Amino acid sequence: MASQCQCCSEIETIQHVFIDSPMAHQVWQHFLAIFGISLKVGEMLQHRFQTWRFSSQFVKGGHIRTIISLLVLWFIWTARNDVKHRRISMEPSRIIWRVHHTIFLLHTGKLFQFVHWHGNFDLTPHFGITLISPTPNPPTLVYWYSPSVESAKINTD
């Protein structure tokens, strides 16, 4: 017997929970708007990944566009489980906040590099992030020259 969705009266399928439900739709719509990706109604889950993956020529492993789509799925899933097992209501705004907050934490933990935002530097303020362009050849401030072979070491301890 099929289960009923945790957010509405529909049958709970993967496609419904992650893409078609009103709750999932609202979450996706929020991030699609930020990244300028048009919503394709009725898009299958696997195609939603490809839509994000091929939405920019700069997308490679770890790019913000792939991270966002994975986080959206993850937090929809945890919200669904919170309803089912903990009776915590499912709020699209909470899922959206969790995605934003996780992006901010990943940035704070220095897990993002400049390349991960390539093509989307203008979107960092949406996540409370300021990226600093890496210096091609950072100045070296400390030098150490090895002593000549004849030098004597003075033990100052």
Please choose, out of 4-12, 59-67, 119-127, 140-148, the segment that lies near Zn ion by the rule CB under 5 A: 4-12
Cα–Cα distance for residue pair 30/52, rounded to 1 Å:
14
How many chain residues bind Zn ion (CB under 5 A)? 5
Of residues 116-135, which lie at the interface with Zn ion (CB under 5 A)? none
Cβ pair 23, 90 in contact under 8 A? yes
Q: 41 vs 154, which CB is nearer to Zn ion?
A: 41
DSSP character string of 15-51: HIIIIISHHHHHHHHHHHHHHT----TT--HHHHHHH
Q: 58 vs 74, which CB is nearer to Zn ion?
A: 74
By CB under 5 A, residue 10 contacts Zn ion: yes
Cα–Cα distance for residue pair 4/15, rounded to 1 Å:
13
By CB under 5 A, residue 8 contacts Zn ion: yes
Please choose, out of 13-21, 86-94, 120-128, 131-139, the segment that lies near Zn ion by the rule CB under 5 A: 13-21
Cα–Cα distance for residue pair 156/96, rounded to 1 Å:
59
By CB under 5 A, residue 115 contacts Zn ion: no
Contacts with Zn ion by CB under 5 A lie at 5, 7-8, 10, 21
